Amino acid sequence: MLEVEVHQRLRSLLQTEGIPPWPHHLTLARLVTRSLRLGPGAVMEVGGLAGVHGHYRLGYLAAALLWPGTVVLVAPPPIQRRWLQVELPRLRTWLQVHKPIYREQELGGEREALLLLTPERWLRELLNPGAPLAQLPTVVDGLDDLEQWAETVLTQSHPPHAWDEWVWAQPQQAELIRETQLALTQSILSHPPNPYEQWLLSASEQNWLEALWPSPPRRVRWVTLERSLAQFTLHCSPLWALAEFLPHWPQHPWVGLGMALGTLTLPGMTRFRFAPHARDEVIHLYAPAHLPPPNHPQFYPAIRQELQRLLALTAGLVVILADEQPLQTQLTVSLAAEFGSRVQRERTGLEENGILVTGWRFWQTHQERLPTPDLLVIPLLPIPPREQPLVMARIEALRQQGRDWFREYLLPHTLAHLQRAVAPVRGGRVALLDSRVCHRSYGAQILAALEPVIRYSRLAGFGTG
């Protein structure tokens, strides 16, 4: 049986080669092989430091190389580069397997190969009935971002130059097109600024646009403004992008892997979870109850004072996660005035005692490249902001159905973001300064999602945790 062969050959490598230590290499390799053999689908959640550093990749790549046929490997470009530069050359030498490897722009016709696809190309293949690539055994890494991938594939965007293209394509409607462009520009510029400079189109704005760009069913139209240029980009997105892929989901064997998959549910899916190691990956969590809530006028001064106390206890790198642009700017400016060039904003070249102020997306994207911080500070829970158009539209849709939009939508996204954010500092220290964790009913769910943790409500003892 193939699972036995994969297990034996990988075990031999683990005993003789310098493989990154992880207790589940063999288990994951067997499960991936079994899923590719029997199908239809399995999702594996790999939390903790193994997820951050990609140690788990060895298992599924070994299974793909030893599989007697072609396997499609799907991942964003950074993971693909790691495959090609590090894991696959070593594994092919160790296993003495020389399957050809093709990226999507150079696909070959061999019967046994590894085909590397970006998530966007793979999802487009799923929408194409009978597409050959959509029928092959598939392994997908980075599944945490599946909803974002689906949204990217299905969102139509019209940048400012699209108006000129509309005029060239429909000269008989040139006057209507220019009148619509002018009316929309004036209306959108009248919106009060928000941190994202994005809004859902109003009813009147929708009506002006309908003759030129009719809205398909179950779509949300929204706009991104470049206020200084008085230019905007129109977007048309599904309300729930992933739902539109579910009827096309593969019936053949596939495996998906991610760090924090939350409530993700896909057709025919079997779920496995490799939890963080309880002994070595305990988070020392400082979660004080005395700080004011985020909507309190004293929230920022209290956070700034708490940061001063935390920085006094930390000699190494500190990462401060703040997605809200006003808060991120305030913290960067005030900390730079005190600590000078030690403070950087969304940079990867950091001093050993540096202070990095960054948003969640930058942190998640660059975790493998950044040094492990001595302290991770989270001033605010990463609850999806209602100022973002699709968030607002989804909340309204759930509210109209009488559903609990916070616990069904906002809270699961918050938990998944937190789990991914703290993974690089497992075994180290995290300061979660949003006191809603202590005072709101959902606080217990947040703490449970971060397990294993040792919680401190005061700084005493935390500095040496």
3-state secondary structure of 370: coil
List Cα–Cα distances, 179 to 112, 158, 185, 186, 210, in angstroms.
57, 17, 10, 11, 13
**pLDDT (0 to 100) of residue 105:** 65
User: How many residues are listed for the chain in this entry?
Assistant: 465
Q: Chain-centre distance of CA 286, in angstroms? A: 25
Beta-carbon contacts of 401 under 8 Å, excluding residues fewer than 6 positions away, are none
List Cα–Cα distances, 220 to 38, 139, 396, in angstroms.
39, 31, 12
The encoded tokens of residue 32 equal 């991936």
**pLDDT (0 to 100) of residue 460:** 82
**pLDDT (0 to 100) of residue 9:** 82
H helices present in 139-226, as ranges: 146-154, 162-169, 174-189, 203-210
The secondary structure element, H or E, covering residue 60 is helix 57-66
Instruction: Kindly report, as residue ranges, where domains of CATH 3.40.50.300 are found in the chain.
Output: 2-150+243-274, 283-464
3-state secondary structure of 401: coil
List Cα–Cα distances, 274 to 22, 83, 104, 385, in angstroms.
11, 21, 31, 30
Distance, CA of 130 to CA of 127 (rounded, Å)? 9
The verdict on pTM exceeding 0.85 is yes
What order do you get walking across the sheet with 41-46 strand by strand? 101-103, 114-117, 71-74, 138-141, 254-258, 41-46, 269-274
CB 436 within 8 A of CB 293: yes
Going by C-alpha positions, the residue among 403, 354, 413 that lies closest to residue 383 is 413
| Fold of the domain spanning 2-150+243-274 | Rossmann fold (3.40.50)
The HSE-up count of residue 139 (CA atoms within 13 Å, CB side) is 31
The one-digit pLDDT tens for each residue of the chain (465 residues) are 788 888 888 888 777 776 767 788 889 999 999 999 887 889 999 877 776 777 889 899 999 999 998 999 999 998 999 999 988 998 888 888 888 999 876 665 567 899 999 999 999 999 987 778 878 899 999 999 999 999 999 999 999 999 999 999 989 999 999 999 999 999 999 999 888 899 999 999 999 998 888 888 889 999 999 999 999 999 999 999 999 999 999 888 999 999 888 888 888 888 998 877 666 788 999 999 999 999 899 999 999 999 999 999 888 999 999 988 888 889 999 999 998 989 999 988 888 889 999 999 899 888 877 888 999 999 999 999 998 999 999 999 999 999 999 999 999 999 999 998 998 888 899 999 999 999 999 999 999 999 889 999 888 878 654
For 122-136, b where at least 16 C-beta lie within 10 A, e where not — what string?
bbbbbeeeeeebbeb
The HSE-up count of residue 163 (CA atoms within 13 Å, CB side) is 18
**pLDDT (0 to 100) of residue 396:** 96
**Other Cβ atoms within 10 Å of 412 Cβ, number:** 16
Beta-carbon contacts of 383 under 8 Å, excluding residues fewer than 6 positions away, are 410, 411, 413, 414
Going by C-alpha positions, the residue among 52, 5, 61 that lies closest to residue 28 is 61
**pLDDT (0 to 100) of residue 323:** 84
**pLDDT (0 to 100) of residue 465:** 46
CATH entry, 283-464, from 1.10.275.10, 3.40.50.300, 1.10.3720.10, 1.10.1040.10: 3.40.50.300
Residue type, 443: G
